[in-house]
Structure 1
Amino acid sequence: INHHMDFDDEYIDDMEYYDVEPCDLRSNYEQVVTIQTYIYSFICALGLLGNVLVLITYAFYKKAKTMTDVYLVNVALADLLFIMALPLIIYNEQHVWSMGTWACKLLRGIYSLNLYSSMLLLACISGDRYIAIVKARHSIGMHFKTHIYSRLVCSVIWFLAIGLSMPTFIYYDLYVENSTAEAECSYSFATSGTAQLMKILVPSLQVAVGFFTPLLVMSFCYCSIILTLLRARNYERHKAVRVVLAVVLAFILCHLPYNAVVLIHTIKLFKERGCESEQQVLLALSVTKNLAYLHCCLNPILYAFIGVKFRNHFCKIMADIWCLRKRNFISGRSSQQTSELYLPAHKFTGGSVQENPSSFSM
């Protein structure tokens, strides 16, 4: 028995050999990789721009004053970490993981790290909003402790995410079935007992800790917030949580399909499955995984279109960039005209022109 898991990181049972034609689980691999390349490129470009703008906004325009602000900064950092890994993932999947074992472990592990940290941080955001609105009396006088608590909570979450991601970092490896086969980045186990344990433990932790637990926390907190706002008849306070609520809902819509398919596949893991059924599950996992990756570039879009404060800060950033470009352009033209006016005539002879460095402003 070979304790190897397929190319798409999704928990396939050990194959037993019968006197039948083997099932080809890589029949659509090239088509899937080609489609994923375009999707990953879109996510990378949009996500990089959006999350960098979020960090710039918090760094120069809107200081992180509340616990929610600190959590959102960490969400942007987690998303940016994964987005920076996407180009390497694209390259390695196109070149059969030519960068070696370290890239296989690191790049697969970064997604797991991003998943746990982002989801747990969003659960913390919902808890902070619950305390600020539903338990408003208890939150009075806690402002001076905000930065201490938020940084402590974020540190705990990052360490927890790293711990939960360790099986991915440890057990992912390059696998080559024979000397003529292409290398695959997948789970690889030394013993049958380890394979059976990890094939249940890893997806169970992902679904339970990385999705359903934060989902329960968010559902309780935001349901309580909505009831409180309806009783208070104060819809202005609803605007304060509308952005966060939209971000959480978008995250759930992106991750629910993938986690549902992973859960179904894990339940059927050690049962007999047909070849066509297994191919369909792998295709569903691939499609829903791309949807899960999409969350990295959705948060900044939600900030820009829903959050009034963030929209104002983004407009301020664009205005400042435009003014800076316009000022540099005018300064550059003025400097160039001045240098041309006082430049000696012999500088232009011989078919060459000596450029004035002062006319090129960054």
Structure 2
Amino acid sequence: MDPNQTDYDEDDGLCNLSPNPLDIITQTYIHSIICAFGLIGNTLVIVTYIFYKRTKTMTDVYLFSVAVADLIFVVALPFIIYNEQHSWLMGSFACKLLRSAYSINLYSGMLLLACISGDRYIAIVQARRSFGSRSSTLIYSRLICSVVWVSAVALTLPTFIYTDRFEEQNLEANKTETVTCQLYFDENEMAKLMKLLVPSFQMAIGFLLPLLVMVFCYSSIVCTLQRAQSSQRHKAVRVVLAVVAVFIVCHLPYNVTLLNLTLSLFKERSCEEEKIKLKILSISRSIAYLHCCLNPILYAFIGVKFRSHFRQIMLDLWCFSKKYIYAARSSHVTSDVCLSGRASSDASNNASSFSA
């Protein structure tokens, strides 16, 4: 049996909850844009940390891990879109793997953002205390990241185990069966338990816990910055408020909708009401997906040093292309420009004290 499929009375027939073609096309375009920008932004963050910036602080380690988590999801997103459009042609294992990609991204990404806020709280609010050498803090941060990733995988196991391809009978005559990828159970009691536990853990650990940590840490940071006499104070406060605001705007609608849908799972509801709820859930989920594109901007590129490294990446790519376009004829000019650009970038890094 599949408890996700509920019978509704609608003119003595079953309620067709399949999205209309226009909604599918619109969602495909939105997800494609999210995938493109998320792929570019998070790849640049990873490349910057590997080849240019290196991971020197706890926040660097967390930011690198967040970019990896977001990249895993945006790489999986095109395959999810393709399979949804073609009745999950890639099979049962791909169904499990791709659905689990979002869950891993959710848990690891949100918990890592909470870690970043905690690290910034320690660096700003508890700045007078000594927290050990750079090498020891890096060891702690890598250990914390390992715990986060293991926890994310463990919390995703129910999704991986119980998600499967499910063939639905089409309501219209002479139509082939529709194949979907969703939670599927053989026992009714297990279905009731998992349908409550999976979204409950997702809301509690993937949204409420990081939100509470971020609100506490960033509220303390704002209070500390307000007391500080610094020219960067107002800018730093705006950045903090932007981080919290974007987090809430992206994830609150989806979690509120998911909570509402979870509370009504075992209640009788009309077909039209269920269609509206599922449509709102789909829209709010797309908004939540958008956060993986905004993370690189909010947490990385907003810093002066990180922007300097990004400009250096662009300069090196330009130099690399020039090397093959103009070959030996312009090699001396290109080398001079590249060396000049790298020297100015290094000088900018040394002069700046602000880092993401």
TM-score norm. by structure 2 comes to: 0.85
Counterpart position of 1:131: 122
Q: How many residues align structurally?
A: 326
Equivalent position SS for 2:246: helix
2:62–2:115 Cα contact (<8 Å) kept: yes
Counterpart position of 1:329: 325
- Listed one character per residue, the Cα deviations across residues 121-162 of structure 1 (whole Å, up to 9, x for unaligned) are 000000111111111122453433111101100000000000
- Listed one character per residue, the Cα deviations across residues 248-267 of structure 1 (whole Å, up to 9, x for unaligned) are 53233211110110011112
- Shift in Å, 1:173: 0.7
Q: Which runs of structure 2 are paired with 1:93-112 in the superposition (5 Å)?
A: 93-112=84-103
1:32 & 1:192 partners in 2: Cα distance? 32
2:77 & 2:23 partners in 1: Cα distance? 16
1:227 & 1:303 partners in 2: Cα distance? 20
- Shift in Å, 1:34: 1.7
1:150 & 1:60 partners in 2: Cα distance? 20
Whichever residue aligns with residue 171 of structure 1, its letter is: Y
Counterpart position of 1:225: 221
1:286 & 1:79 partners in 2: Cα distance? 19
Larger Rg computed on CA atoms: 1
- Shift in Å, 1:44: 1.4
- Shift in Å, 1:332: 5.6
Whichever residue aligns with residue 15 of structure 2, its letter is: C
1:47–1:80 Cα contact (<8 Å) kept: yes
Calculate percent identity across the aligned residue pairs.
59
2:45–2:300 Cα contact (<8 Å) kept: no
TM-score norm. by structure 1 comes to: 0.84
2:215–2:244 Cα contact (<8 Å) kept: no
Counterpart position of 1:77: 68
The structure 2 residue matched to 1:22, chosen from 14, 26, 30, is 14
1:304–1:314 Cα contact (<8 Å) kept: no
Structure 2 unaligned regions, length at least 5? 171-175, 332-356
2:9–2:15 Cα contact (<8 Å) kept: no
Verify: 1:195 aligned to 2:186, yes or no: no
- Shift in Å, 1:93: 0.9
Q: Which runs of structure 2 are paired with 1:1-16 in the superposition (5 Å)?
A: 2-5=1-4, 14-15=6-7
- Shift in Å, 1:298: 1.4
- Shift in Å, 1:214: 0.6
Q: Note the aligned Cα RMSD (angstroms).
A: 2.3
Q: Which runs of structure 2 are paired with 1:30-49 in the superposition (5 Å)?
A: 30-49=21-40
The structure 1 residue matched to 2:137, chosen from 139, 146, 156, is 146
- Shift in Å, 1:271: 1.7
Equivalent position SS for 1:80: helix
Equivalent position SS for 1:88: helix
- Shift in Å, 1:57: 1.0
- Listed one character per residue, the Cα deviations across residues 202-232 of structure 1 (whole Å, up to 9, x for unaligned) are 1110111110011000000000111111122
Q: Which runs of structure 2 are paired with 1:1-362 in the superposition (5 Å)?
A: 2-5=1-4, 14-15=6-7, 20-26=12-18, 28-178=19-169, 180-236=176-232, 246-302=242-298, 306-331=302-327
Structure 1 unaligned regions, length at least 5? 7-13, 336-362
1:325 & 1:243 partners in 2: Cα distance? 35
* Range moving further from structure 2, 44-53 or 294-303: 294-303
1:127–1:218 Cα contact (<8 Å) kept: yes
* Range moving further from structure 2, 97-106 or 303-312: 303-312
2:34 & 2:84 partners in 1: Cα distance? 16
2:63–2:299 Cα contact (<8 Å) kept: no
